[in-house]
Amino acid sequence: MSQGDAAALCFAYEDLGLGSFWTTDGEGRLTYMSPAAQALLGGGEDGLIGRPFLELFLPPDREAEGDSQRALSFALARRGRFERVIARSEAGGRGCWWSISGEPQSDGNTFTGFRGHCADITGERESAEESSRLAMHDPLTGLLNRRRMTQVLERTLTAYALQRRSCAIMLIDLDRFKQVNDTLGHAAGDALLKQVADRLVKIVGDKEKVCRLGGDEFQVILPDQEDRGVLGDMATSIISSISQPYSIEGSRCTIGASVGVAVAPFDGQASEELVRNADLALYAAKGSGRGRFRFFSNDLLKAAEDRRVLEEDLIDALPKGQLELHYQPIVKATSNQIVGMEALLRWNHPEQGWISPARFIPIAEESHLICRIGEWVLRKACEDAASWPGDARVAVNVSPIQFADSSLPALVASALASSGLEPDRLELEITEGVFLQEGGTTDAMFRALKDLGVRLALDDFGTGYSSLAYLKTAPFDKIKIDQSFVRGATGSGSRNRAIIAAIVALAKALDMETTAEGVESFDQFDLMKSLEVSHVQGFIYSPAITNDDFLARLDGDGWIIAPSGPARQRHDRQAMFRRIGAIHEDHYYPIVLRNLSVSGALIEGMVDVPLGTKFVLDLGDGQLVIATVRRSRKHQQGVEFEQEMVADGNGGLCTRHRVSPYALTAAGLTQTPGHAGPMLITRSDDGRVMLPAFSLASEWNGAALRTEAA
């Protein structure tokens, strides 16, 4: 190729806009650059020839690309070869990014300048920035996404561990979001999520601390926050803010939220552990009725482990014949006549003995074992009922998960056919949970079941959302009023009576029966009769019994059963019994907590402690409180706390602050309440208990203390 050809090739390359060649003289002044590149760099009519090459670009910006921009001046000064050095220019209001390479030229020993190549990479850079923004943010809400939040959390925790700082996270899960999505459509669901994001940001006060993990799950990170009083307040305002009505495309809707809280380093020091623990707390919050917050505590870890073990055992329970059906009579209140029996599942666990379905049905539902178990229950209940003399009905509980399974009507038909049971002797009990399941097939399922001729009962009314709207749309034959509601009705001034009266009136109007569940005493029984509840089920007639027991009892007085029980419901006051520790000077005393309130406690296990004595109570998990003895009677002391307790989100109390696990380990208090060696504890200015330098002025000599056990 001739030199002329090569030059033509270079010009063609430049004309295509792929880049430009450039040259400088020995003083660094521009001697050549394509007109297009000169124009981008601000060259007017006369161009830039003769200007110092370095000055065409912006000086290094210390904040951002400092290093790579410094690289250009460095490379030019060094007079060495350089490749793809990044530089920025700004001319005529237009910012550009450049990639520049250069090769030093010399004439013998003398440096004569650079010859190089540069290209405008603004487009690539902008799209890279955009994609990294997209990679970090949730496109719908503009909040951080899960990936980014994980990075932020990991970085924060690593840095904070060294500085021994705390960091809280909250996991937030929306309740009933699926319902909005299903009834109003996905566009409305999206609009709702955006509004939720706005409300969250408003409360947290910083968009960069809120993340949408996906679906209807959000996460908040709160660096340097460990005060559970503050965290509980924030969780409460998040829940109440999210629970305010939304207006979306002209429709109004409401949802709820549950919150799980975990605080590093107390509840985990690595991000994975912390998030898992916040998730356990969230799970517990949802399990305890939704619309609540919950702090992580070590019991939750234990409960999760127990659940896992039980889930494993449950897989074999059916094949090993450990499941049994028991039956509880449902009785017509006016005539004491048994009209039906409810089939209630029992699990005879090889090690743990009888386990209540309230404990294992939720596990079966989560692991989808419920469909297999449910099928067995349905077939067995139909078989048993077919063998009963007379025409009493059998009621079978159907889980919302079974209800969402389109093969349920076929299963019911098959159970009826193979047992020979009349369809109207089978009553399926369904909870409000079925209305909250994903998918909009509820109506079709109701119709398919009604077409088979079976009866439907709405179970546990008065727990859940208790929406009377369900009653109008779904073809129920019966409403079962939950036992918690029945129980609450006998208290003076209870609103439950009026509500039950309204339910009964509505049920009558819609031609439905009513059953009061869990009736134990005559005061409840009489009240239910006076409110004209048509049926009663409860210990006042009989607990659930085996099928054989039931058949044996039938011989005598047939289907009539007499109520018997206490005149009044005894309100069981649960005495607290929790093992804790008391630390005084260099002694650790195992004691028992009998009563706990916001400002004090009743403790037991030390004898004759003088009034005014101060010590530290170890409530476990790093919860240390300074307490002063205000009342003392033999082995019991009433103590007053120096700092009040706060709500733990689960109806209980916890300390605002905790002693960090680092300090606990140092003090030998890892397993609490456990045995601690001699230790010293102090308080910081804001009232936190700190280890390890304790000194409480007291005339009381801890060594002389007698514990009750001794």
Q: Identify residues 513-532 at the interface with Mg ion (CB under 5 A).
A: 517
Interface with Mg ion by CB under 5 A: which range of 88-96, 165-173, 186-194, 428-436?
428-436
- 379 or 450: CB nearest ligand C2E: 379
- 358 or 704: CB nearest ligand C2E: 358
CB 143 to ligand C2E: min, Å: 38
CB 649 to ligand C2E: min, Å: 25
Phi–psi pair at 84, nearest 5 degrees: 45, 50
Contact call for residues 517 and 535 (beta carbons, < 8 A): no
- 267 or 520: CB nearest ligand C2E: 520
- Beta strand segments in 489-641, E: 513-517, 535-537, 545-546, 578-584, 587-596, 600-604, 606-607, 614-618, 624-633, 636-641
Which distant-in-sequence residues (6+ apart) come within 8 Å of 291 by Cβ? 175, 239, 243, 256, 257, 258
CB 326 to ligand C2E: min, Å: 7
Structure tokens at 158: 């690593």
- 517 or 618: CB nearest ligand C2E: 517
CB 190 to ligand C2E: min, Å: 34
CB 322 to Mg ion: min, Å: 21
Look up tokens 């700004």; give the residue: 90
Q: Tell me the H-state helices in 117-227.
A: 122-136, 146-163, 177-184, 186-204
CB 478 to Mg ion: min, Å: 11
Rule CB under 5 A: is residue 397 a binding residue for Mg ion? yes
Per-residue binding letters, 475-514, with Mg ion (x by CB under 5 A): ----------------------------------------
- 291 or 357: CB nearest Mg ion: 357
Nearest to 82 by CA among 68, 69, 72, 96: 72
Cα separation, 157 vs 262, in Å, equals: 13
Q: Which does 596 bind (CB under 5 to 8 A by kind): ligand C2E, Mg ion, none?
A: none
Rule CB under 5 A: is residue 120 a binding residue for Mg ion? no
Kindly give the pairing relationship between strand 246-248 and strand 251-253. Answer: antiparallel
CB 463 to Mg ion: min, Å: 8
- 76 or 330: CB nearest Mg ion: 330
The sign of the CA dihedral 121, 126, 129, 130 is negative
Q: How far is CA 442 from CA 182, 377, 452, 494, in A?
A: 11, 22, 16, 34
Interface with Mg ion by CB under 5 A: which range of 231-239, 392-400, 536-544, 658-666?
392-400
Q: Which does 344 bind (CB under 5 to 8 A by kind): ligand C2E, Mg ion, none?
A: ligand C2E
Cα separation, 309 vs 296, in Å, equals: 20
Using CB under 5 A, pick the residue from 227, 459, 513, 618 that binds Mg ion: 459
- 253 or 386: CB nearest ligand C2E: 386
Q: Which does 399 bind (CB under 5 to 8 A by kind): ligand C2E, Mg ion, none?
A: ligand C2E
Three-state DSSP at 99 gives: strand
Rule CB under 5 A: is residue 429 a binding residue for Mg ion? yes
CB 404 to ligand C2E: min, Å: 13
Q: Which does 358 bind (CB under 5 to 8 A by kind): ligand C2E, Mg ion, none?
A: ligand C2E
Q: How far is CA 183 from CA 291, 415, 452, 576, in A?
A: 21, 33, 27, 46
Contact call for residues 329 and 561 (beta carbons, < 8 A): yes
Structure tokens at 78: 């060094």
CB 500 to ligand C2E: min, Å: 16
Structure tokens at 567: 């005149």
The residue ranges that bind ligand C2E (CB under 6 A) are 328, 344-345, 356-358, 361, 374, 377, 397, 399, 429, 459-460, 483, 517-520, 537-539, 544
Cα separation, 647 vs 596, in Å, equals: 12
CB 641 to ligand C2E: min, Å: 35
Q: Which does 356 bind (CB under 5 to 8 A by kind): Mg ion, ligand C2E, none?
A: ligand C2E
Q: How far is CA 508 from CA 201, 388, 446, 474, in A?
A: 48, 29, 21, 15
Q: Could you tell me how many residues of this chain bind Mg ion (CB under 5 A)?
A: 5
- 365 or 459: CB nearest Mg ion: 459
Per-residue exposure over 491-514, b if at least 16 CB sit within 10 Å of its own CB, e if not? eeeeebbebbeebbeebeeeebbb
Using CB under 5 A, pick the residue from 460, 520, 585, 618 that binds Mg ion: 460
Q: Which does 118 bind (CB under 5 to 8 A by kind): ligand C2E, Mg ion, none?
A: none
Interface with Mg ion by CB under 5 A: which range of 247-255, 275-283, 426-434, 507-515?
426-434
CB 653 to ligand C2E: min, Å: 27
The sign of the CA dihedral 224, 228, 229, 232 is positive
Cα separation, 678 vs 669, in Å, equals: 10
Interface with Mg ion by CB under 5 A: which range of 43-51, 453-461, 551-559, 562-570?
453-461
CB 620 to ligand C2E: min, Å: 30
Kindly give the pairing relationship between strand 393-397 and strand 337-349. Answer: parallel
The residue type found at 603 is: I
Half-sphere exposure of 580 (CA within 13 A, CB side): 26
Q: Which does 377 bind (CB under 5 to 8 A by kind): ligand C2E, Mg ion, none?
A: ligand C2E
- 116 or 374: CB nearest ligand C2E: 374
Look up tokens 């990991």; give the residue: 154
CB 480 to Mg ion: min, Å: 5
Q: Which residue is nearest to ligand C2E (CB)?
A: 538
- 14 or 429: CB nearest ligand C2E: 429
| DSSP, residue by residue, 326-360 | EEEEEEETTTTEEEEEEEEEEEEETTTEEE-HHHH
CB 481 to Mg ion: min, Å: 9
Rule CB under 5 A: is residue 432 a binding residue for Mg ion? no
| Site for Mg ion, rule CB under 5 A | 397, 429, 459-460, 517
